[in-house]
Chain A
Amino acid sequence: VELSDTHEQREFRERGRQWLAENAPGSLPMPRSSSDSNAARQWQGALYDAGWGALMWPEQFGGRNASLVDWLIFEEEYHRAGAPYRIAQNGISLLAPSLFSFGSAEQQARFLRPLARGDEVWCQAWSEPEAGSDLASVRSTASPDGSGWRLSGQKIWTSHALEADWAFGLFRTGSQEERHRGLTYFLVPLDAAGVTVRPIARLDGCETFAELFFDDVYVGRELLLGEVGGGWSVAMETTGSERSFALRSPGRFTVATERLRELYLSHNGGSEDLLAGRVLDVWLDAEAYRLAVWQTATQITAGARVGAESSLHKLFWSELDIRIHDLALELLGAQALVCDPNDPVSADWIEGSTTALAGTIWGGTSEIQRNIVAHRLLGLPRS
C-alpha cells in the first residue's frame, strides 16, 4: 500500500497544474445552442491540442496513452484549478469507449479526433418516453433502405442536444419482443433531413436538454456501430468502462467539500455549531469516495474489470453530491433564492444543486443501480 506520487507523477501533476493555471478560463457560459457553444469548443480544442483533452487515449488519436492513475491526478488538478465544464465530456465518456471497442478503423479515424477536440459535439439518444429505466424496451426503429437505414421515432431527456452536432443512439432493428437483442447502435448527424430537436426546460427554466424526433432519417451503413442486433453490447461497453462515469473524478467532490467548508466558515460557523457535524460528514464521505476510487483504480491497473462495482460508485457520489449542495443551500439561506450573476459563489452553488439533483436519475437511476448491486454483487434472487 502506497499513496504518494512517484517523481514522474509529481512532475506530471505539476505540468498539469501549471498548464491549467496559464490556460484555463475561470468560467464559461453554459452553451444553450450550437452557435453559442464556441467558447466551450475553443476551450476543449485548447485542452485537446495540448494533450489534456483525452489523456488516456492512444497517441495516434491525440491522447497521451496515460494510465488511469495519471488521469485521476489530472482530474484532481482540473477541479482544484476550478476549470470549467468540458463540452466533449459526454462523447469521451459515453461514446468513445464503444468506438474503441466496436468501431471500424475508418470510424475511429473519422470520429474520435473531432469528438475529443470539441469540433463535433455528441449527445446520447437512448431514453424514450416509454423506455427510461427499462432501456431494452426502446421503440424507435431502423429499417434497411438500400445500403443504408431509415430511422424513425422519438428520443427524450437528451442532455446537450442543443449544442450537439451528432447523436449516438439505440434503434430497434428486430421485433419488440426481442428486447435488448433487437437493438442496433447508430451514429446520427443532427443536421440530417428529418431530425427535429425540441428543447425541454429544466425545472429552473434553463433549456439544457431536449427531445429528438426522427422522421424517416436516412443514415448510411458507415454510421452503424457494431453489428446489426448488437447495439446493447455496444451501449453497455460504456457502463462498465473505467473510462466512463464508473469512476467519476473524485476531485470534483473533494473540491466541492473544501468549498463548502469555506462557505461554512464565511458564515461564521465554528466547530460547535449545529451544522458542523454535517460539514464533517460530507467531507468524510468525499474522502471515502476518493480513497475508494484509488482502491478501484489500483485493482483495474492490476487487470480487474469494474463491472457492477461501478453501480456502488455511482450511488455513492450522486447521493453525496446532493447532500453537499443541500447543506450549501441551507448555509446560503435567502442568498439561495436569487441567481445573481454578481454573486458568483451563490450562483455556482445554485446551479450545482440543480445539476446534483439530476445525478441520481441520469445514467441509471439510483433504484436501478441498487437492483444491479443486489443481483450482481450480493447475488440476491430476482423478484
Chain B
Amino acid sequence: LKVYFDFDHEQYEFAATVRRLISDRLRPERIRQGYSDPVIRLETWKSLADLGLHGICASTEDGGLGLGWLDLVLPFEALGWGAIPGPYVETIAIAIPLLAALEDQLAQDWLAEIAAGELVISATVDGSRVLPYVRDAGLLLLGDGDTLTVAKVDQVEFAPLPSVDRGMPMFAVRSVSPGAKLMTANPPAEAWRKARDGASLATAAQLLGAGSRCLEVTRDYVCQRKQFGRPIGSFQAVQHLLVNAFLRHRFAAPLVHRAALSMTTQSDRSATIHTGMAKVAAARSATNAARVALQLHGAMGFTQEYELEMWLARVRSLTAVHGTTAHHARELASWLLANDRQADVGIGAPSGRR
C-alpha cells in the first residue's frame, strides 16, 4: 500500500529518544537555569547533537545522516514540547541547506562541525539585522536578497534586546566589520527556498509541540485542581474549552506532517505552499492552546514563577518568527485566489502537484 500517511518505526523511535532526553535531563527547571547560564545552554546543545539531531539533514559526506524532513519534523516537535531554547531552526533548517549548496571547502568544514554539535549558528534570511541567540553563536549567516554573508560573531558588534521570550533572546546586529566577514556568496535560488521553507516547517513543528505541551499540562492541572469540592476538569465549561483546543491541535498536525513530506518529495512551489499552510495552522492552534492553558490555570498561569510561562512565551515568539501568520496567509491567499489556479481535490495528486 503506497498511500501511507504515517511515520515509520524508526522515525517514531528517534523522536521518542529526543523526548526521553528532554524529560530525563532537560527538564523545565534546568532549562530556566540555562537562561542565565551559558554552560547549561552549551551542554543542552551538545546533548541533542550527541543523539544525531544536528546532522540528520546533512549529507553523509558532511558527517550527517543524509536523511530529510520526515525524520526531523517529529524531533522538532519534541523541541517545542520541551520548550528547548537555542538556534536549532537557524543552524539545522537554514544554515545546512545554504552551506551545502556552496562548492567551498570552508562551508564543508562548517557542515561537519554543525553535525558534530561543535558549531552554533544564528541566521537571518530576510535582510533583517535582528537575530535570536547571537551570544551563543560562533557564526552568523546574514541573508539579504540572494547574497549570503558569513560573519564571525566575536568580531561583530551586537546588542541584546529586551525580549518577550527569555528562552529566545533577541539581538540587534549593529555592524559587521570587514574583518568579521569570512565569506560572501550567492547560493542558488533552490537553496534559499529550502532554507526558508525549512525554517517555516521547523518552526511550525515546534509550535505543534509547544501547543501539545500546553494541552497536556492543562489536562493534568484541571484533573488535580479542586474547587466546589471536585476537580475543575469535571465541569463541562472547562471540558469543552479544552476539547476545542485539542480539536484544533489535532487538525493542525496533518498539515505540518504533509509539509515535511513535500519538503522531501517536491522541488516546486508546492513545498512553499505546504510549509506556509503548516506554519499558519500550527501558529493558530498553538496560540489557541496557550490561551486555553492560561485561562484554565487561572492566576497561576499568569505568573513567571510557574513553569507554564515557558510555553506561553515560546508560542508567542515562534509565531512571530520565520514568516508571521499574516505573511503566510497573504502568500497563500494570493496563490489560492489567482484566477489561473487549477483545482485539484484528489489525494493522488496533492494540491499543486502535477
Residues of chain A having any CB pair with chain B under 8 Å = 1-6, 9-10, 13, 67, 69, 72-73, 76-77, 79-80, 251, 254-255, 258, 261, 264-265, 269-271, 276-277, 279-280, 283-285, 287-292, 294-295, 297-299, 301-302, 312, 315-316, 367, 370-371, 373-374, 377-383
Q: Are A277 and B329 in contact (CB under 8 A)?
A: yes
Tell me the minimal C-beta distance from A302 to chain B in angstroms.
Answer: 7
A-B residue pairs in contact (CB < 8 Å), sample of 17? A3-B347, A3-B350, A76-B345, A76-B347, A254-B345, A271-B330, A271-B338, A288-B252, A291-B257, A294-B5, A294-B347, A298-B6, A301-B1, A316-B250, A374-B236, A380-B222, A380-B234
Known contacts being A1-B257, A288-B281, is A269 close to B337, with CB within 8 Å? Answer: yes
* Bound-state Cα–Cα, A360 to B240, Å: 15
For A380, give its contact among B5, B239, B332 (CB under 8 Å). Answer: B239
Q: Are B3 and A9 in contact (CB under 8 A)?
A: yes
Q: Are B337 and A279 in contact (CB under 8 A)?
A: yes
Q: Are A6 and B3 in contact (CB under 8 A)?
A: yes
Q: Which residue of A lies closest to B235 (CB)?
A: A383
Contacts of B343 in A (CB 8 A): 258, 261
Q: Are A374 and B255 in contact (CB under 8 A)?
A: no
* Bound-state Cα–Cα, A378 to B257, Å: 22
Residues facing A in B182-224 (CB within 8 A) are 219, 222-223
* Bound-state Cα–Cα, A276 to B5, Å: 30
Q: Are B247 and A316 in contact (CB under 8 A)?
A: yes
Q: Which residue of A lies closest to B222 (CB)?
A: A380
Which 4 A-B residue pairs are closest in the complex by CB-CB distance? A291-B254, A5-B348, A374-B239, A271-B334
Q: Are B333 and A69 in contact (CB under 8 A)?
A: no
Known contacts being A1-B261, A292-B250, is A299 close to B6, with CB within 8 Å? Answer: yes
Tell me the minimal C-beta distance from A240 to chain B in angstroms.
Answer: 17
Question: Does chain A have a CB within 8 A of B34?
Answer: no
On chain B, the number of residues with a Cβ less than 8 Å from chain A's Cβ atoms is 57
Q: Are A69 and B1 in contact (CB under 8 A)?
A: yes
* Bound-state Cα–Cα, A265 to B353, Å: 22
Q: Are A295 and B254 in contact (CB under 8 A)?
A: yes
Residues facing A in B257-290 (CB within 8 A) are 257-258, 260-261, 277, 280-281
For B277, give its contact among A9, A287, A379 (CB under 8 Å). Answer: A287
Q: Are A4 and B236 in contact (CB under 8 A)?
A: no
Q: Which residue of A lies closest to B349 (CB)?
A: A4
Interface string of B286-303 (1 = CB under 8 A from A): 000000000000000000
* Bound-state Cα–Cα, A370 to B336, Å: 32
Q: Which residue of B lies closest to A383 (CB)?
A: B234
Q: Are A291 and B247 in contact (CB under 8 A)?
A: no
Tell me the minimal C-beta distance from B264 to chain A in angstroms.
Answer: 8
Sample of 10 further A-B pairs with CB below 8 A, known A370-B239, A381-B231: A6-B2, A73-B346, A261-B343, A276-B337, A279-B336, A280-B329, A287-B255, A312-B251, A378-B219, A379-B219
Tell me the minimal C-beta distance from A92 to chain B in angstroms.
Answer: 22
Contacts of B36 in A (CB 8 A): none
* Bound-state Cα–Cα, A257 to B260, Å: 24
Question: Does chain A have a CB within 8 A of B27?
Answer: no
* Bound-state Cα–Cα, A251 to B344, Å: 11
Q: Which residue of A lies closest to B335 (CB)?
A: A271
Tell me the minimal C-beta distance from A267 to chain B in angstroms.
Answer: 12
Question: Does chain A have a CB within 8 A of B84?
Answer: no
* Bound-state Cα–Cα, A77 to B349, Å: 12
Residues facing A in B77-136 (CB within 8 A) are none
For B258, give its contact among A3, A79, A283, A285 (CB under 8 Å). Answer: A3
Tell me the minimal C-beta distance from B279 to chain A in angstroms.
Answer: 11
Contacts of B234 in A (CB 8 A): 380-383
Tell me the minimal C-beta distance from B74 to chain A in angstroms.
Answer: 11
Contacts of B238 in A (CB 8 A): 380
Contacts of B161 in A (CB 8 A): none
Q: Are A284 and B260 in contact (CB under 8 A)?
A: no
Contacts of A4 in B (CB 8 A): 2-3, 347-350, 353
Question: Does chain A have a CB within 8 A of B230?
Answer: yes
Question: Does chain A have a CB within 8 A of B7?
Answer: yes
Contacts of B337 in A (CB 8 A): 261, 264-265, 269-271, 276, 279-280
Contacts of A316 in B (CB 8 A): 247, 250-251
* Bound-state Cα–Cα, A315 to B250, Å: 12
* Bound-state Cα–Cα, A316 to B222, Å: 24
Known contacts being A371-B236, A378-B219, is A2 close to B345, with CB within 8 Å? Answer: no
Contacts of A258 in B (CB 8 A): 343, 345
Q: Are B346 and A76 in contact (CB under 8 A)?
A: yes
Question: Does chain A have a CB within 8 A of B242?
Answer: yes
Interface string of B224-236 (1 = CB under 8 A from A): 0000001101111
Q: Are B347 and A290 in contact (CB under 8 A)?
A: yes
Q: Are A265 and B339 in contact (CB under 8 A)?
A: yes
Tell me the minimal C-beta distance from A296 to chain B in angstroms.
Answer: 9
Contacts of A380 in B (CB 8 A): 219, 222-223, 233-234, 238-239, 242
* Bound-state Cα–Cα, A287 to B240, Å: 24
* Bound-state Cα–Cα, A302 to B8, Å: 12
* Bound-state Cα–Cα, A9 to B4, Å: 13
Residues facing A in B310-353 (CB within 8 A) are 329-330, 332-334, 336-339, 343, 345-351, 353
Question: Does chain A have a CB within 8 A of B139?
Answer: no
For A1, give its contact among B7, B277, B332, B347 (CB under 8 Å). Answer: B7
